Chains A and B, each alone.
Chain A
Amino acid sequence: MSNTATGPVSSATQLLSALSLDGRNSAEGRQINSSALEFLLPELVNALVSTTLRTKQISERIALGLDAQEDASDKHSPSTEKGQEYNATTIPGNPSMGSGWLDLPEDEELVEQVCVKLEMVGFRVGKRIAERFSPLSRRLTDTLDIVKFICKDVWTLLFNRQVDNLKTNHRGVYVLQDNKFKWFLRMSGNNGGAAAARRAQPYIWLPCGIIRGILDSFGTNTVVIAETLGLPQCTFQIKVVSEEQMVARA
């Protein structure tokens, strides 16, 4: 993979002049406290963990020929109850209003379902971001330009910073590296990287979806995956998928 594309500093000026947001810049838009999202995100993840468990339980009940809805939302699968013990999620006397979060299920299949949902949530966000912020002055047709637009403009809009490094092999693979990914900045445990990386996993899929959603808006089908080598670092890999590949996948 050749490191041809741009570091953030070298091409920032050139890029920003090319891709102006036509006056729809941050100064004009509505501003809120960045902590609002910090508080929302874990709830988002937790809510989707709980709906995923709920769906699983309903389908189990249906499989057993039981009434699908009964108690479905209030009980959790055995794996969660185990997590709950650890988590102390429920407040006595008011069991429905626990303020703690569910652990990620141990069942990898369920984790995957949660991640797929998060990716879809991100995808819709990406579509709307593209809709609202895509530069009007110049139509972005080249994938590299779109990716640059994401690295600079979108990242600045969303995270108040740019992506640290962008690499491409010029054959449809782009690697974005953010050394201080905003959503990971306050994530910290004290039992080492692996456990933390697992807990961070759901939070990676949301931005993956956002990136894919933006590219999709420009008519580019991609697969976006991400990994962290150690919080708060995060690397996103974008792979352009051709029509044929899409069909083959389907």
Chain B
Amino acid sequence: MVGGFTKSISSFTYRTFFKKESTYFTTVVASGVAFSIAFNTMFEKYWDNKTAGTKWIDIKDRYAKDSKLGQLSSNEALTLAGTFHGIHVLASRISPATKGSQSVKDSGIQTIDTKNFRIHCYQTPTGIKFMAATDLLETKLSDVLVKMYGLYSDYALKNPFYNLEMPIRSEMFDSRLVQLVKTV
């Protein structure tokens, strides 16, 4: 599906991701301190695979008003998400776990820890990734991320104005997302 690639690390990396002729994912990043998660940066993006190379064609950076912590510029956020994607795919292939003679298919990285905080990722079976950054006290955020998936389904996919593979431009989606994050 990825034309023009030699059998290099690149095609290896992206093969899973570009399982469809073209695909996309949505990433949401929140960042927080202490017990409450202060809502911080949020962005969505669109991964374009029209040519053999890849590029981000759009990004949005919002909700940066609440806190000065953990802010990323648009480009930085993109770099993070793009790099993470590659690692996510590769990591799922190096699983040593086996069941009988078959290696167990792995769903990829779910959390990454730093000294002070943790990045959570939930990947849907259709390949969309929902991500959030929290402090280390949040051990399991998958419930929230699954709820974000629900919001995506209800307020992006069922919004007649939302074209697939485009950034989500919906005030309704945004406000529900903020509501959801405030419950954490």
Contact = CB atoms under 8 A, between A and B. Distances in A.
B169 A92 contact: no
Contact of B21 (A42, A88, A93, A100): A93
Contacts of A93: 1, 21
A188 B170 contact: yes
Contacts of A99: 164-165
A186 B175 CA distance: 12
B161 A199 contact: yes
A91 B160 CA distance: 19
B21 A189 contact: no
A186 B172 contact: yes
A100 B46 CA distance: 14
B158 A35 contact: yes
B55 interface: no
Given A38-B158, A186-B155, A88 B49 contact: no
Interface residues of A, number: 25
B165 A190 contact: no
Nearest to A232: B172
Contacts of A189: 161, 169-171
Given A99-B164, A203-B160, A188 B155 contact: yes
B154 interface: yes
B159 interface: yes
Contacts of A245: none
Contact of A188 (B1, B21, B49, B161): B161
Nearest to A38: B158
Interface in A163-189: 186-189
A187 B49 contact: no
Interface string A193-217: 0001001000100000000000000
A87 B171 contact: no
B170 A100 contact: no
B79 interface: no
Interface in A3-44: 35, 38-39, 41-42
Interface of B: 1, 20-22, 48-50, 154-155, 158-161, 163-166, 169-174
Interface of A: 35, 38-39, 41-42, 45, 87-89, 91-94, 99-101, 186-191, 196, 199, 203
15 contacts: A35-B158, A42-B160, A87-B166, A88-B48, A92-B21, A92-B22, A100-B166, A186-B154, A186-B155, A186-B160, A188-B173, A189-B161, A191-B169, A196-B161, A203-B160
Given A186-B159, A188-B173, 12 more contacts: A39-B158, A87-B163, A88-B165, A92-B50, A93-B21, A94-B21, A101-B163, A186-B160, A188-B155, A189-B161, A190-B171, A190-B174
